[in-house]
Amino acid sequence: MADHTSQKQIVSQVQIVGGGLAGLSLAAALGTAGIKTLLIDMEPEPSNTPFEEAKDNRTTALIQNSINLLNACGAWSGCEDYATALTVMRIVNLPRGAQKYPNSTDFDSREIENSPFGFNVPNAVLRRILFDRLATLSSVTHLTSTKMDKMEQTPDGYQLLLSNGESATATLTVGADGKNSACRKAVGIKSMSWPYPQTAITCYIEHSKPHQNVSTETHYPAGPFTLVPMMGKRSSIVWVEDTRLAKKYLALDDAEFAQELKNKINGRLGTIKLFGKRGGFPISAMLSDSFYTKDLALIAEAAHALPPIAAQGLNLSLRDVAVLAELLIDQNKAGKPLNDIELLKEYDRARRFDVVSRLAAADGLNRFASNDSAILHKVRDIGLSAVRNFSPLRHLMMKSGMTSPLGTPSLMSGKEIERS
């Protein structure tokens, strides 16, 4: 722990603990509005090496509302060269028993609008763009390779003691520091969490056949195997597997691992070749009892965490960012305190139903799809057939997956951020 006896003091309006994509996005939104913001980021500055060499080898399927938010923050320009349109979402239920062929249903965005569902972007690219955006904002201080050592309540908000020997205070502190949030624990907000016996294996592949902007999610007994289009003849993979087997697969050499992938893909994309790194991420879910307390708000995985189903994770977190940023920007324009308890209650009210309903749906879908029950396999088949043959139901499901049940925040509807 750093020596804080002769510390430098950083005073801000908002201090954000956690430099993941949600924390970076909130800092960009507040900084664009001219709100004095500190971002405490444990990760180092991203390198200028190609994205496939980055430690984070995941991608994010951003729906259009999330892209609107990033655009308002000045952090979408530069992503376009790496963004791949997601036009069709295909769900596949594999055959079982005497059944010869898989059952599948396509959700085609062109049935409900003239634009794709969204765009798939490498996380490393998005982090780099957000990082560069913060560097242009005079109202944002971005401390990298820095963690919070201690958090203490003061009359003026929380004082944070940092690993670089500095301390920081702000009217409002935002915890964006993940499932095991030190902020959440420090202020005594309880949470419930539950692990799944699954690990998500992530990697990139090149393939000889075009993906045609179709994202394919195939349901296996251990979990979904998802191919998500990337630029050119490339795709990212999220392979949810039994944790014991996932460790075995991740320990294979590249040739052996590629062969396991070929078995899963079953010729769908022609010949394949691995590129970049592999990763493994244990799957769990979490819900915080509250998304706020005095002088503090929680966003993203400090408040909630979902299994990787239907591209809900970061899109849900960015809705936290949009709602909280709008409230803070409006409050700042009115000259009112950013830690107002009614504002924090409004943030919690605005987010809780969306979060709880998405978490329940993701948990249910994961349990429903990740099993070898003959009865549930038949139910999945019947459900896919019903959706395929009844377009109003299909259209309703597509629209509900792309919007919040309580409406779309204005920063996700194309509104620009005005500087205070």
Give percent of the chain with pLDDT exceeding 90. 67
Q: Calculate the CA dihedral of residues 252, 235, 122, 115 and round it to 10 degrees.
A: -160
Residue 352 lies in a domain: yes
Residue 419 lies in a domain: no
Residue 1 lies in a domain: no
Residue 354 lies in a domain: yes
- Whether 4 has a pLDDT exceeding 60, the answer reads no
Walk across the sheet containing 191-207 and list its strands.
103-108, 88-93, 214-220, 223-230, 234-242, 191-207, 272-288, 304-305
Dist CA 310 CA 110 (whole Å):
18
Query: What is the mean pLDDT of the segment spanning 294-322?
Result: 90
Pairing of strands 88-93, 214-220: parallel
Domain span including residue 52: 9-412
Q: What pTM value is reported for the model?
A: 0.91
| CATH number of the domain residue 270 falls in | 3.50.50.60
**Residues in CB range of 310: below 8 A, 6 or more apart:** 362, 365, 401
pLDDT, averaged across the chain: 89
Encode pLDDT of 171-183 as tens digits. 999 999 999 999 9
- Whether 31 has a pLDDT exceeding 90, the answer reads yes
Q: At 355, list the tokens.
A: 């979060």
Encode pLDDT of 82-129 as tens digits. 999 999 988 888 766 666 677 788 888 888 887 888 999 999 999 999
- Whether 393 has a pLDDT exceeding 80, the answer reads no
- Whether 5 has a pLDDT exceeding 60, the answer reads no
Residue 104 lies in a domain: yes
Please tell me the total count of domains within the chain: 1
Write out the E strands in 270-410. 272-288, 292-293, 296-298, 304-305
Residue 3 lies in a domain: no
Q: Of the given ranges (4-8, 286-290, 354-358), which has the lowest mean pLDDT?
A: 4-8
One DSSP character per residue, 358-397 reads: HHHHHHHHHHHHSS--HHHHHHHHHHHHHHHH-HHHHHHH
Residue 420 lies in a domain: no
Give me the residue label for tokens 């820095």.
Answer: 146
Query: What is the mean pLDDT of the segment spanning 67-78?
Result: 94
With vertex at residue 405, the alpha carbon angle to CA 24 and CA 364, rounded to the nearest 5 degrees, is: 85
Residue 418 lies in a domain: no
Coarse DSSP helix, strand, coil percentages of the chain, rounded to the nearest 5 percent: 35, 30, 35
Q: How much is the pLDDT for 266?
A: 86
Q: How much is the pLDDT for 98?
A: 60
- Whether 6 has a pLDDT exceeding 60, the answer reads no
Q: How much is the pLDDT for 253?
A: 94
